[in-house]
Chains A and B, each alone.
Chain A
Amino acid sequence: MNWQAIKAIYVFEMSRTFRTLAQSVISPVLSTVLYFVVFGAAIGGRIQSVEGIGYGAFIVPGLIMLTLLQQSVTNASFGIYFPKFIGTIYELLSAPMSFMEIVIGYVGAAASKAIMIALIIMATSTLFVDLDIRHPLWMIAFLLLTAVSFALLGFIIGIWAGSFEQLQLIPLLVITPLVFLGGAFYSVSMLPEFWQAVTKLNPVLYLISGFRWAFFGVADVPVGLSIAAVCTFLALCLGLIWLIFRTGWKIRP
């Protein structure tokens, strides 16, 4: 295992985060505050509570998930797309490192950054609502597993993308809608029965539900299903990555 190489990539990627601290951290925090103002204060004031939880607190796990998914996907996809775009990927390919080591470096950095921002948002949210976390270890486990799985997905997107437009496509067209429709801001039980069934096809529902369970002990789907869903997704992404590297798809002709 070429640990030096993993460390080099990780440090390099993280330094990019700190170099662009304003875009990297301030903008997600600002948009979260906006969500709180709009959903929590303006609309939440009329909703009172969902499943016995104040609406302001209820949306916190959904908000964190929204940012976590967006951040891990965009960080990882950009992280590997950029060297591909400017050509510096030659160095990764000529270095004595395996594809898995490249993935660990980029995905590790992307997931770290996403978790960092998730924690900042969590801290920001305590300014607005009282949070008490029922299952802190599970909360961290969900945070980690989700960040890593979606960073893997982002990595795959970064390898696949042939342009900056394509890079934005999946986060914008797939992930954001899935999060919004996955019960980030409402409980699925509030929907008519038919739409409840449809929502259960949305994989993101299981992530948000599990994450919310870790906070409040309340879930839309059994927590076991949530864990199974994250692990399945993780396995799926790992399998895809393995396939990409075996065939050298798009990077090593």
Chain B
Amino acid sequence: MAAIISVSALSKRYAKGPTALEGVSLDIEEGEILALLGPNGAGKTTLISAICGLVRPTSGTVTVAGHDIVTDYRAARALIGLVPQDISIEPFERVINTTRFSRGLFGKPRDDAHIERVLKALSLWDRRKARNMELSGGMKRRVLIAKALAHEPRILFLDEPTAGVDVSLRKDMWALVRRLRDDGVTIILTTHYIEEAEEMADRIGIMDKGRLLLVEEKARLMHQLGRKALCLFLQEPLDSLPPALAGHALKLGEGGRTLTFEYDTAAGRTGITRLLADLAAAGIAVRDLETRQSSLEQIFLNLLEEAA
């Protein structure tokens, strides 16, 4: 896959205040869903704003399908749709007119068939004549998406698309994003919710303090950085760890009925075989066992701790 967006050494410093972006380089591949994760103030929104033209980068370059966002901004921006984090919407205008307006802004001639498709896909068609202020929060957010899709962009930026959205709506949003990806739209989303990134993304970028700490395919990220925990449920409770098992990093659970062993799935030797052998030698009978993959959330927290 070719990179559709190429960010190179992008920095943004404000005259007063902290550095919002520090030397971010990133290639976004055509057709992928990239999730940007990071705590508040990590620079996710600034990165998006710089690519979309809301913020002037202090240094560095960005190209969109080969078009520089500064010198060739018209060609670059025409390919991009942006759904902002805050619900910013003309309160008195009607849904269909706001959507048409967005298409016009991006230089496309009026196309009612396309607007109808977009509004129908977002379940807004029945409310097309409603004023924006009459809509519920979830609907307003969908109007923002409709506006962003009105000019048939090849790239869609979703800045916290599910912030403050209830569970069922969040699921709808995910389904929509997948449909768009199936249509070939490249999607970059920022999120607080790790589960969202885990659920949706092909690749995950983790940002903190204006830096991009890493970008990795989700599966590989979880595999590489993932730790697994093996939990052993014992036949008979133990008062303390027998000395024969002292060599293993074991934790005795409450009541002495479980033993937890954490291991790195990427390591050459996980140590499980030896542990099981030692358990058998010590005469400890295991009733049941289970393993747990650490979640992206833990990976994320580990990374932030390492960076700090």
Residue A23 at the B interface, CB < 8 A? no
* Contacts from A to B (Cβ < 8 Å): 2, 4-5, 7-9, 11-12, 15-16, 19, 83, 86-88, 90-97, 248, 252-253
Q: Which residues from chain B contact A12 at a C-beta distance below 8 Å?
A: 93, 97, 101
List 23 A-B residue pairs with CB atoms under 8 Å apart, sorted by A's residue number.
Answer: A2-B107, A4-B105, A4-B106, A4-B108, A4-B109, A8-B100, A8-B104, A12-B93, A16-B92, A86-B88, A86-B90, A88-B89, A90-B54, A90-B88, A94-B52, A94-B53, A94-B77, A94-B82, A95-B106, A96-B76, A96-B107, A97-B74, A252-B55
What would 16 more interface pairs be, CB under 8 Å, given A8-B100, A90-B82, A252-B53? Answer: A4-B104, A4-B106, A4-B107, A9-B104, A9-B105, A11-B104, A12-B101, A86-B88, A87-B86, A88-B88, A93-B54, A96-B73, A96-B74, A96-B77, A96-B107, A253-B14
Q: Which residues from chain A contact B101 at a C-beta distance below 8 Å?
A: 8, 11-12
Most central of A9, A86, A94 by chain B CB within 10 Å: A94
Q: How far is the CA of A26 from the CA of B271 in the complex (A)?
A: 85
Q: Which residues from chain B contact A248 at a C-beta distance below 8 Å?
A: 56
Q: Which residues from chain A contact B106 at a C-beta distance below 8 Å?
A: 4-5, 95-96
Q: How far is the CA of A85 from the CA of B73 in the complex (A)?
A: 25
Residue B253 at the A interface, CB < 8 A? no
- What 9 pairs between A and B have smallest CB-CB spacing? A8-B104, A87-B88, A96-B74, A95-B105, A96-B77, A94-B52, A96-B78, A2-B107, A4-B107
Q: How far is the CB of B130 from chain A (nearest CB, A)?
A: 15
Q: Which residues from chain B contact A97 at a C-beta distance below 8 Å?
A: 74, 105, 107
Q: How far is the CB of A230 from chain B (nearest CB, A)?
A: 31
Q: Which residues from chain A contact B93 at a C-beta distance below 8 Å?
A: 12
Tell me what chain A mostly uses at the interface: helix, strand, loop, or mixed: helix
Residue B147 at the A interface, CB < 8 A? yes
Contacting pair B105 A93 (CB below 8 A): no
Q: How far is the CA of A104 from the CA of B187 in the complex (A)?
A: 33
